[in-house]
Structure 1
Amino acid sequence: MRTSGGLVPDTLPDLHRAAGVLFDLDGVLTPTAEVHMRAWQKVFDQVFARWGIEPPYTDADYFAYVDGKKRYDGVASLLRSRNVEIPWGEVSDPPEAETICGIGNRKNAAFATALRSEGIAPYPGSLALLRSLRDAGVPMGVVSSSKNAEEVLASAGIRDFFRIVVDGVVAERGHLASKPAPDMFLEGARMLGVEPAAAVAVEDAVAGVASAASAGYGSVVGVDRGAGPDVLRAAGATGIVDDLAHLLADAAR
């Protein structure tokens, strides 16, 4: 039984026996969380400097206010932490608009530019787990707050592993509340045709872990990519890993 890294072996479920497994995308399946972080840093550094907002934006702000949430909710949450209120605006706002939506669209433009110029590949451990679960016939889905999820999945070459994708586009169309509300993970289970209590969620964001836990998932695996194991456990994670390779069949038993 392994105990290295962020692994907590006595609480890890055997995903190969789950009725279904629903994964977050960025930071769980692909290292796009790093691309998101750089894009947010660039945009908020500019916004904070122009408006004289203090203290400066940091990675800790990303994990506390932005990670796992729908784009505009993340902008509003971060600005609210600095006691800054600006108009919400419209989804169609141009990136230069000084609104919540404008700032969110500015970040999305920065992310899209980076993704298309750099490309993306899945984490090796995540790809190995997806192949193992597919071979075992376990239904899989993605629950991501990102509106770029379909493009990221296609770019990484892993879209065909998943029967369903609940992303920011689906959430907006269905008026689903942002994580940490349970809405998106409840919709993921419904679309996959499984009961949440019989399913497993795999998440790296504190908001996402809380979302899956409040949706009643039988197990919520926290993937520690920087949020911290204690914070993920406090949000509702029932087990922690630092790489999805720990969830392969021989590691889960």
Structure 2
Amino acid sequence: IDDVNGNSRDGIHTACMAGSWMSVVYGFAGFSDYGGKFSFNPQIPSSWKKLKFSLALKGSILDVTLTHDAAEYSLRKESAGVSLRHRNVEFTLGAGEKKTFGLAPKLKALLFDLDGVITNTAELHYRAWKEMADREGLIFNQEINKKLLGISREASLAVILEANKVVWSKEKREKACYEKNERYKELISSLGKDDILPGIENLLKEAYDQGISCALASSSKNAPAIIKALGLEKYFECSLSKPLDFSAGIKAKPQPDIFLNAAESAGVWYTDCLGIEDARSGVCAIKSAGIKACGIKSSGDDVSAADIIFDSTKDLSLEKLKKLFC
């Protein structure tokens, strides 16, 4: 240690030094000791080659080495065993053991929007909303319908009511949403294999064969019923076994919640995922989640913010998607 700037005559500011250390370890290394549980989510700056430090954890000494490609956790020989978590993977190290995790992003999961990506139930939605609007004497047309892309049932009704400059009570809104959904579910029963959009089943099969997980990222409460009607259950087991619970505070698109939840259901860290969307709000949700985005232009919505764009689902290619991670 040397007094390079000649400013330590009255001592050194240890609190400042501790703050710098914390910014590196708790910040760039993503260390957390909340609740006595030790976890890491490393993201070191592009200008750094390596970050290396040691931690004393409950009497054990852990050496951590981070590069852009890997994270290595090594427990010294004189240490007792310690339980750790690297991103979403829990593991235990014994004395003298080490474990290495790759940090370079790799495509491990595809997160699919439903409407306009896997199938097109827009016409079914339109028919159900149109019948409701006609009963209530409301104007509802394709122009209004375009504004319903990628948003929830309740938000869709709000758009329709606003377009008609009418206000309904909470009870009437809930009744209208319920009746629309019941009619929509009746229409869903008519779906079959022929309603899967071109190229989607081949993409699902290819991903399945290569061990790449697939998960649904849809706000539709009817998504499980639609997937079953299309005969695609085996590709989306993780989503069907744990459907979205909006009562838990999950926010609709363009907020990132739905895509982050889909990544979690697939058991894959978000940086190793790719989301596929045909709506602007969906692409915004993907990007807000820090996930790579694939945009489908077939709906006519603006998907220009996506990392890769296809004119139609029939043009989707797993090899092209994987190149985003090279």
Per-residue CA deviation, residues 172-209 of structure 1 (Å, 9 max, x unaligned), is 23221121221111111122222323211011223222
Per-residue CA deviation, residues 36-60 of structure 1 (Å, 9 max, x unaligned), is 222223323433x2xxx5xx32223
Q: What is the CA distance between 1:250 and its match in structure 2?
A: 5.5
Q: What is the CA distance between 1:160 and its match in structure 2?
A: 0.9
Identify the structure with the greater strand proportion.
Answer: 2
* Uncovered stretches (5+) of structure 1, i.e. residues with no partner: 1-16, 90-98
1:220–1:194: structure 2 CA closer, same or farther, 3 Å change rule? same
SS of residue paired to 1:162: helix
Counterpart of 2:181 in structure 1 is 108
1:206–1:39: structure 2 CA closer, same or farther, 3 Å change rule? farther
Equivalents in 2 of 1:144, 1:73: separation in Å? 14
- 2:314 aligned with 1:245: yes
Q: What is the CA distance between 1:251 and its match in structure 2?
A: 5.4
Equivalents in 1 of 2:318, 2:178: separation in Å? 41
- Equivalent residue for 1:185, pick from 259, 265, 285: 259
Question: Percent identity, aligned pairs only?
Answer: 27
Counterpart of 1:7 in structure 2 is none
1:168–1:232: structure 2 CA closer, same or farther, 3 Å change rule? farther
Counterpart of 1:119 in structure 2 is 191
Q: What is the CA distance between 1:81 and its match in structure 2?
A: 4.2
Equivalents in 2 of 1:244, 1:76: separation in Å? 30
Counterpart of 1:58 in structure 2 is 141
SS of residue paired to 1:25: coil
TM-score by length of 1: 0.75
SS of residue paired to 2:123: helix
Give the alignment's Cα RMSD to 1 decimal.
2.4
- 2:236 aligned with 1:162: yes
Equivalents in 2 of 1:222, 1:46: separation in Å? 36
* Uncovered stretches (5+) of structure 2, i.e. residues with no partner: 1-105
Number of residue pairs the alignment of both structures matches: 215
Q: What is the CA distance between 1:35 and its match in structure 2?
A: 1.6
- 2:290 aligned with 1:216: yes
Aligned positions of 1:2-21 closer than 5 A: 18-21=107-110
